[in-house]
Structure 1
Amino acid sequence: MKSILNFNVRNLCFVFVMLVVQCAFAQDRTITGTVTDNKQEPLIGVNVVVKGNTSVGAITDLNGKYSLSVPEGKATLVFSYIGYVTQEVSVGSRNTVDVVLVDDAQALDEVVVVGYGVVKKRDLVGSIASVKSQDITAVPTSNVLESMQGKIAGLDMTRSSGQPGSAFNFTIRGNRSLTASNAPLILVDGIAYGTDIDINPNDVESIEVLKDASTTAIYGSRGANGVILVTTKKGKEGKAKVDFNAYWGPSFSTNLPKVNNTEQYVAMRREAMRAVGQWNSPADDGVIWDAVALERIKNNVNTDWYDLIMDDATTQNYQVSISGGTDATKVSFSLDYFDETGILIGDDFDRFNGRINVSQRIMKGMEAGASALFTTSTRNAAPNNVFHAAQTKEPYGVPFNEDGSLNKYPFTGSGATDINMLFNQDKNNYVDETKSNRFFGTLFLNWEIIKGLQFRTNFGYDLQNSRNGHFEGVNSTFVESNKGLAKVSKNETHSTAWTWENTLTYTKDFDIHSLTAMVGHSMSKSSSEDTYAEGKGLSFEQSLFHNLDGTQQDYALSSTLTESSMLSYFARLNYKLLDKYLLTATLRADGSSVLAKGNRWGYFPSVAVAWRMKDEHFLSSVDEISDLKLRLSYGLSGNSAVSPYQTTGGLSKTIYEFGTVPAYGYRPYSMANLELQWEKTRVLNFGVDFGLFNNRVYATIDAYKTWTSDLLLPMILPGHTGFTEVISNVGKTETRGIDLSINTVNFDTKDFKWTTDLTFSANKEEITALNTNQNDVGSGWFIGSPTKVFYDYEKIGIWQTSEAAEAAKYGQEPGDIKVRDQTNDGAIDANNDRKVLGQQTPKWTAGLNNRFEYKGWELSFFLYARVGHLIQNEAAANFNPSGWNNSIACDYWTPENPTNAYPRPNFNKNESMLYKSTLAYCKGNFLKIKDITFGYSFPKQMISKLNMSKLRIYTTLKNFFTFSAVDDYDPERGGSNSYPMTKQVVFGINVSF
């Protein structure tokens, strides 16, 4: 290695010396000229550089003129300008070189993937947002969908936790359903993939998000929540290209609840006892603590349990890909390894991906291809209950014995028999392991039957197997709930799905008309088989969950088989008049096995029109406006919310007595409803696309409204039916909002470029109808309110000493939580004094990305905001006023500290404390600097000596800076006591050969 490095250094030094010598002896001459557009208007700020030597260059002035010195001999000038085609001009013997740049229509001719086809961006009629490969991989991510957070207007996305391999929660334009999923349909290369996207981001060519009915209706009963199309990379004609990408970095927790240390905990417990008259001075401490605890307090034993359950974590990823081909055969192949250890000891996730894509021209007009993706992963999950334990256990617990071994019983008093939470992080005491394997493959054939008529068939197969093994030993904290026995379980899932789709597309241009018609047919079937077994009393614990027959009691077995299928027909018509008046109409018919006979088919139409105003004569001469298009669409799509067998009455096993002998039988547990249908959503969308100054500013604005009907909700039944309720199509919701995206090129000179991307989304949800038009308080559904809300008493402070008489009217005393008497009737009751406090989803979200490039250097930073929603702070809700358990360090009320934040600790009040749940609610607003990336790309002249076409190194700070009123948790995740969010420092390299 040392000799190789020495050799490379000598080569680089030699190249450097030769360049210096060349510069010293070369003779320069001055070249001048003028750069104009096709209307002979001068172009200001055009970059003019010498090809192969970008250090020699100039920029045109206000009159479009430039001047630069070039070496004698052969020289070629490169002229580049935003919105125009880059031109290369040989200087020859000339001293004056004038150039006319031609408009670059490439941006508008860019191809965008839509359902069952592609369309030029200029011809888009519906609302579609796109993220390309270079943006997907700009920041290292473990989940390809993460690259879209804050960069697609209308897409609200948050990570569920910081646990390795954790998924993302995401919706497109809000929630419409109350009981069914609001997650969008995700397809990879045209085939449904599910929401757990385990594809390496470097394997993805583009992601398109379909948002309005004109784009989603083609997916019928699955399109109401929006559609995400993921297109993987294909081989391209040309020499083989090898890419290597790698990154590594440490991870740290973001915000953690600040719990009481020993001094604070002692003060809180004393106050709790003082409130009931059992403590007046430290002389009374013996009433609270035993001798062991008092000794530890005296010696200032102070244990940070959070620090003990957590450890340093790392993330690493290595990917290599090879692609290339001839005009007939094209191949793309990649391997990827991802590994992430969690900040919680014992938690880790690793994944291996292998992908291959091959296409072959069989004959003129006919091409076939195949792709295969194999994924295998292993997830080891540590028990999340240790976070709750770290927050609530006494801070003077002694976790280790004098010899350094774990102290099994570190606590005192009533908790003296509680097992040390650190025992759960020993693999001999607790295991939660999930292994998953997946094969996802596609086959396709494209055949141009005659000019303009193309047939395509696409077949996809998805095979998934997973196994979860769970073990809780007798030395884990679960032993008490397991009756003093070890508990093991195993859950195995096997699922398959296949889809076969055929389309026939006809394209024809004639005179001032352009027509594209497509008809298609789709068949799909899915099957999932699940087996579960558990038992207690494992005789040989070293076997963990691999020896279920070694258990001795409390056996449990279950297995299920779920199957469904769908048959569909669809059609789409695209029509253009004069290349500026656009029309798209779609229709899909879905027939599903999950619905009852006679009610299995649903029909989903849409229509959209667009007007390219820029091409009208009254705007064509306005140079400042480079693009302007108006769009309008209306259509219907569905949410396949009906589960298999939900329309039929279900049976459950039961035991009854036959004489004196128990007998097994079955009884109905749900009532059949043969009239169940899919939930349906109508969408009206109006949009404007416009570009200014040769598209240096480009924006898209969409305003929309949706009406969702036939929501699946429980309908109460009279008792004589033998059932309590039946699922029916009875609810309705509405949403409305605005999506905005703006892309600007702020500066673009020879050496410096600055671009900005802004997205903004505002969405309002409303329930407009429920069963019998009554609010469903138990489910948290209220007519006129958003779909997800918090409903509770309204905390307005803490009762103060001066308010003792008024507090007594409500059965309270100073130091108790004070809530608003909504009816002002002198009494607080659950029916009249609770209210909708706020919504759980944000009123608006925004993302702002800035990217700066200077020569080979780059700096980018991305800001993300969610505003207008409430979250629950579980640590606050778990405030323990009795003092038995530890709590967060907070500003609680005492006669000497008349705060309005937290109530007075009171030994006689814990769960019985009135309105304690109101402590949990807080505003979830936040602004994050989501990532900051600093990188450098080495000059091609330098790396070409090493047969490289690209060499880039970078470092990224992820999730490091959050501005929010919430300081106990990362507000993006919310305030639960589950896995905290993480921040990362990433170091990476990208190499291409």
Structure 2
Amino acid sequence: MKYSVLQKKIIALTFLQVTVSAAFLNANAENTAADRLANKKLLVAGYNLADIIITGKVTDEKTKSPIPGVTVKVKDSQTIAVTDENGVYKITVPNEQAILSFNYVGYDVQEKQVGSLKNINIILKSAQANLEEVVVVGYGTQKKADVTGSVVRANLDDFRNAPTTNVANLLQGTVPGLNVGQVNRAGATPGISIRGQNTLGGNQNVLIILDGVQYNGSLTSINPDDIASIDVLKDASATAVYGAQAANGVLLITSRKGTVGRTRISFSTQYATQKPNIDLRPMARDEYLDHIKYLYYDQAFLAPDFTQPNPAFDLISKVDPSMKDAQGNLLPNDFSWYDEATKRGSIVDNQLSVSGGTDKINYLLSGSLTRNSGFIENDNFKRKSIRANIETKATNWLTIGLQSFGTFVNEDGVEPNFTDINLMSPLILPWDNSGNLKINPFGTNLTNPLLSYQADDYDRHNYFFANVYGNVQLPIKGLSYKISFGNNYRLDFKNISNMYDANLTGQASKETTTYYDYTFDNLLTYNKTIGKHSFTGTLLYGAIERENSYTRAYSTGFSRLTLGYDNLQQGTNRFAISNAWKESLNYQMFRLNYNYESKYLFTGTIRRDGFSGFAENNKYGIFPSVSVGWDISKESFFKVNWVDNLKLRVGYGVAGNQTSRYSSLANVGVSAAYVFGDGGSTQFGQQVNGMANPDLRWERTTGANIGLEFTLLKNRLSGTVEYYNTKTTDLLYSVNIPVITGFSNVLTNIGQLNNQGVEFSLNSKNINSGGFQWNTSLNFARNANKIVKLLGDLNGDGVEDDLPQSGLFIGQPTAVIYDYQVNGIWQVGEQIPTGYSPGTYRIVDQNGDGVINASDRAILGSSAPAYRLSLLNNFQYKNFTLSIFLNSIQGGKNSYLAGNTPRIIRDDNAIRNNYLSGIDYWSPDNPNGKYPRSIVSATLNPPLFQNRSFVRLQDVSLSYKFTGKLIERMKLQNLNVFVSGRNLATWTNWEGWDPETNQGLTNDGRPVFKGYAVGLNVTF
């Protein structure tokens, strides 16, 4: 693709920073002799008699050896000393309340209050200890160093200040292989996928596990402030514990708990503004009238080239009558429907929590109030939530706990149809002379989009979650039993009435949806250590049931709607609809973990899944996996002193994927089916609509994953490189069958789909000196899939056949683009084939037969990205922290393409409707125009495919943490203020609303939000 100059600079900056980081990493971590001499001169300077001289030695926790070059600083002052080659330092402090901070690259920062001490020796703990970090791996936890699967903990801390209401938005670009999209509605949840597409017709949703329970509610219901961590399980060996539920990866969300110590009362508040990240709006009066003139270029300009104005052309005669007064003159208005229907959006977010604990009990209580008002009127989202997490050690052998929350979402109000807003002419006002809204501003069946303001809309969603668990230490040492019962309950209410609905006769309705599921797990865990050998066995038996019920009652034909949806019997025509469904799953799992000195690691898992949606002959599937790890850096032969840690992981496993409920059964529909006698009334009957398949099987995805984790140069550089390759067989897909069977298609198992990719993450500590820190994180991911088999050789020619009508081709990705290729626009005076005219696209004759038809379609590329890239820079100086996050998706030459073709063909609607401003349409006097505009429609109107590649300045945050006497006087534990911004700039060649949402120059698009926030975090 062609990059803009600014894009080239951004990409160059990315690689420049990696180069700079490498230069820092190769630099000598110790201070130079000159630095030491300078510090000694500082130390021998005269002291104030009131000052206290502190001396001491700094050593390594493991090796016990001295650490030279450690920065020793008196907090809230400029006094600094550096340890010498023997790890010894000498520094003066003003009083006994002074706090010394010990800082050295590769080690955790340590602080110590002076008190009455004159000699303070410090043992620094290597930051390598992050390998001791415990991560959630499903039905348990493991030290990060012992994990053999592809498990990554998302970085939430650097993004918590971002102006957003959904936790998923905080994950964009933070984990390689985790793909999170953009949102353009208040409170919306973005699309989420992990490592691309492994299926054609099976489930494609990422599995969400909330506090150990499968969660099918919206992520909108989860208060982001309540979340302690999110762990991402990516490969088959990591997801195996969740079986076929986890075919598309797993997000493990863990909520916060109280900690032992004094009670913590935390409050945070944030206010953010939101506006479109692009100024794209409909045409104003002059451009709109110009647009009508060019639709009549054959009359408005003189032949033969139609570039010279025709003085006899009467534009007013071509304008729709709705835009003229009684005398036939154009209305004088230049009204912006866009401005009338939009506003500056905002987010107001308030959080309060109380937490604490003892050695017997810990607790967390939290509540939040969130309001997000979108940029379109009535695009509203309000959320109230409350959480209670309590855990108690009832006895020395029994621990019981409760994790629960309730969330109440209010989305009242009906926003005006944004497509219709963009269609409305600026010459027309939405009100008549009496101030009443016009019903049909154009005098057609297109109603006024502002009529939605008249709706009485009650749109509520109530979420309830509770997980009760008990953990029993059995009499056998190392053996424990955990039982948990998780519940999800959701109530949705949609009540609405509007006098303008139902063809302006008035309509009112009440809808109620109830959803409930439970997860019942029994977990038996046995830990055993024999010398240097450690074993952990996990045995699981569990069951899930889900049920849903829907009821809608509605009426039409109201003479008045005084009581709205609370008096449906006032309507002339009354109707009722209801449906329900139920499904169940059960599963068993056994996992064995083996560990030899954290050097040789083994994990083996076998999972058996059963699902009611599968055919009678294939209710259950068995899915095994195995993975191993080798910490090479712990081998005695490994003597590379600049390598701190080097671990190789290899995993192989089989995952399943389930179908939708009832899909293996014959489906029955209800429709008007019988008429008894001449003039008799129509009776409803039942009819079999779908064909049963008693042999429908589970999809099976066999995958291998190879990962290499490394930490170098005393933890200044760390990262992970991964490669994965999967093969999915028995793909669930709806295949067309001869209609003579009575059905058009049947769900069955076909073909093979391969999926592979590479992921790379790099974390560097560029500078850590003199109170200044600069850290960088770089993520890269590339994924590609390929269809290997479909239905087999249907023609008997020995060649595997494609399914072009479904866009599926052997050897091509599932996101392949198969369409006509455009080669410019036909011009006035050219020899144009029949069926086309000036201003229509010229289509490439792929087979050269002189005829443009379906045979001239070709594979033009793919809609999937070529790779994803993100770069996070974090700067800390004293109490200031600045983070800057760039996120990018690139398509290369023929990937990440999408159709983006605003097209105008002269007809009644095109003359009447409005369109987006500033579009480069073709005209005889603009022959190089990019987009088609013609008098008549062409035989074929293919899209123009554009590259969606972009670089986005996605998140910027600046915070200040107060310390010192102010905090002491206010008796606070923490006080932090911040400003932040989101989606501040996007560099792309894509034209339209936004490349990431795949919305181009179209009236029915919506912009992504640019937001600025200011906030406060305080802990008592």
**Fold shared by both chains (TM-score > 0.5):** yes
How far has the Cα of 1:926 moved from its partner? 1.2
1:632 aligned to 2:647?
no
Q: Is the 8 A contact 2:993 2:1005 kept in 1?
A: no
Q: Choose from 825, 836, 843 the match for 1:798.
A: 825
Relative to structure 1, is the Cα distance of residues 787 and 63 closer, same or farther in structure 2, using a 3 angstrom cutoff?
Answer: farther
Q: 2:470 aligns with which of 424, 445, 467?
A: 445
**1:527–1:562: 8 Å Cα contact kept in structure 2?**
yes
- 2:40 is matched with none
Equivalent residues of 1:48, 1:750 under 8 A apart: no
Q: Give the match for residue 211 of structure 2.
A: 189
Gaps of 5+ in 1: 1-22
The corresponding residue for 1:902 is 931
One-letter code aligned to 1:281: P
Question: Which residue of structure 2 lines up, in the alignment, with residue 57 of structure 1?
Answer: 80
CA deviation string 1:435-455 (max 9, x = no partner): 111110011111121321111
Structure 1 position 252, deviation (Å):
0.9
Farther off after superposition, 667-676 or 964-973: 964-973
CA gap 1:974/1:622 in 2 versus in 1, 3 angstroms: same
Please tell me the residue identity of whatever aligns with 2:915: S
Paired with 1:484 and 1:848, the residues of 2 have a C-alpha distance of 53
Q: Distance in 2 between matches of 1:880 and 1:741?
A: 53
SS in 1 for 2:602: strand
- What code does the residue aligned with 2:878 have? K
Cα 1:90–1:264 change in 2 (3 A) is: closer
Correspondences of 1:716-727 after superposition (within 5 Å)? 716-727=736-747
Q: Is the 8 A contact 2:377 2:415 kept in 1?
A: no
The answer to whether 1:987 aligns with 2:1010 is no
After superposition, where does 1:174-213 map in structure 2 within 5 Å? Answer: 174-194=196-216, 196-197=218-219, 198-213=221-236
Cα RMSD (Å) = 2.9
Q: Deviations over 1:557-601 (max 9, x none)?
A: 321121111121100001123431111000011122222333211
Q: Which amino acid aligns with 1:885?
A: N
TM-score by length of 1: 0.89
Report the equivalent of 1:11. none
CA contact (8 A) 2:299 2:313 kept: no
Alpha-carbon distance in 2 for matches of 1:887, 1:657:
48
Secondary structure of 1:139 counterpart: coil
Of the structure 1 ranges 496-505 and 812-821, higher mean CA displacement relative to structure 2 is found in: 812-821
Distance 1:758 1:158 in 2: 19
> How far apart are 1:431 and its partner, in Å?
4.6
Aligned to 1:756: 776
Q: Shift of residue 652 of structure 1?
A: 3.4
Is residue 885 of structure 1 aligned with residue 910 of structure 2? no
Letter in 2 for 1:163: R
Query: 2:589 aligned to 563, 566, 570, which one?
Result: 570
Equivalent residue in structure 2 for 1:367, among 399, 402, 405: 399
Pick from 374, 383, 386 the counterpart of residue 351 of structure 1. Answer: 383
What does 1:135-174 align with in structure 2 at a 5 Å threshold? 135=158, 137-159=160-182, 161-174=183-196
Q: Are the structure 2 counterparts of residues 229 and 40 from structure 1 closer, same or farther at C-alpha, using a change threshold of 3 Å?
A: closer
Counterpart-to-counterpart distance in 2, 1:33 and 1:705: 51
Match of 1:14 in 2: none
The CA deviation string for residues 285-323 of structure 1, in whole angstroms up to 9 with x for no partner, is 243136774679867632222111101221111110001
CA contact (8 A) 1:677 1:729 kept: yes
Identity among equivalent positions (%) equals: 31
Residue 536 of structure 1 and its aligned partner are, at CA, apart by 1.8
CA deviation vs aligned residue, 1:5-32 (integer Å, no higher than 9, x gap): xxxxxxxxxxxxxxxxxx9772354758
| Alignment partners' CA distance in 1, 2:761 and 2:329 | 59
CA offsets, 1:117-148, max 9 Å, x none? 00000001000110266346243431112211
1:537 aligns with 2:557: yes
1:935/1:71 Cα in 2 relative to 1: closer, same or farther (>3 Å)? closer
Decide which of 530, 538, 558 is 1:510's aligned counterpart.
Answer: 530
- Distance in 1, matches of 2:516 and 2:765, equals 47
Does 1:956 find its partner at 2:980? Answer: yes
Q: 1:609 matched to which residue of 2?
A: 628
Mean Cα deviation higher: 707-716 or 30-39:
30-39
Partner of 1:275: 298
AA in 1 matched with 2:387: R
Deviation of 1:744 (Å): 1.6
Aligned residues: 945
Q: Distance in 2 between the 1:73 and 1:277 partners?
A: 89
Answer yes or no: is the 8 Å Cα contact 1:250–1:312 preserved in 2.
Answer: yes
Confirm or deny: 8 A CA contact 1:258 1:968 kept in the other structure. no
**Correspondence for 1:316:** 348
**What are the Cα deviations for residues 360-387 of structure 1, in whole angstroms up to 9, with x where unaligned?**
11211321111211111111353452x2
Aligned to 2:17: none
The verdict on how the C-alpha distance between 1:92 and 1:913 changes in structure 2, with shifts beyond 3 A counting, is closer
Show the counterpart of 1:408: 438
The residue correspondences of 1:318-717 to structure 2 (distance < 5 A) are: 318-383=350-415, 385=417, 387-400=418-431, 405-406=435-436, 408=438, 411=441, 419-424=447-452, 426=453, 428=454, 430-449=455-474, 450-474=476-500, 482-553=502-573, 555-619=574-638, 621-644=639-662, 646-660=664-678, 661=680, 662-717=682-737
In structure 1, the partner of 2:31 is none
C-alpha distance in structure 1 between counterparts of 2:402 and 2:218, whole Å: 22
Separation in 2 of the partners of 1:252 and 1:86?
40
The CA distance in 2 between the partners of 1:841 and 1:849, in whole Å, is: 24
Find the residue that maps to 2:197 and give its secondary structure. Answer: coil
Letter in 1 for 2:461: S
How far did 1:916 drift?
3.5
Letter aligned with residue 668 of structure 2: G
- In structure 2, distance between residues paired with 1:469 and 1:879: 40
SS at match of 1:166: coil
Q: What code does the residue aligned with 2:342 have?
A: M
Residue identity matched to 1:454: S
1:981 positional shift = 1.8
- Superposition deviation, residue 174 in structure 1: 0.6
Distance 2:285 2:85 in 1: 71
Task: Give the equivalent residue in structure 1 for 2:44.
Answer: none
For residue 338 of structure 1, what is the amino acid of its counterpart?
A: T
Aligned pairs for 1:83-94 (under 5 A) are 83-84=106-107
Offset at 1:988? 0.6
1:816-864: CA deviations, max 9, x gaps? 211211112211102x112333333322112211111111111111111
Does the Cα contact within 8 Å between 2:67 and 2:86 map onto a contact in 1?
Answer: yes
**Does the CA contact (< 8 Å) of 1:535 and 1:551 recur in 2?**
yes
SS of the residue 1:284 aligns to: coil
Q: CA deviation at 1:525?
A: 0.8
**2:295 equivalent to 1:266:** no
- The answer to whether residue 871 in structure 2 is matched with residue 841 in structure 1 is no
> Per the alignment, do residues 124 and 970 of structure 1 end up closer, same or farther by CA in structure 2, a change over 3 Å counting?
same
| Correspondence for 1:866 | 889
Match of residue 783, structure 1, among 803, 806, 810 = 810
Q: Deviations over 1:50-72 (max 9, x none)?
A: 4x656433344788665533347
Taking a change above 3 Å as real, the CA distance of residues 893 and 47 of structure 1, as seen in their structure-2 partners, is same
The match for 1:855 is 878
Distance 1:870 1:301 in 2: 42
- The alpha-carbon distance between structure 1 residues 566 and 175, as it changes in their structure 2 partners (threshold 3 A), is same
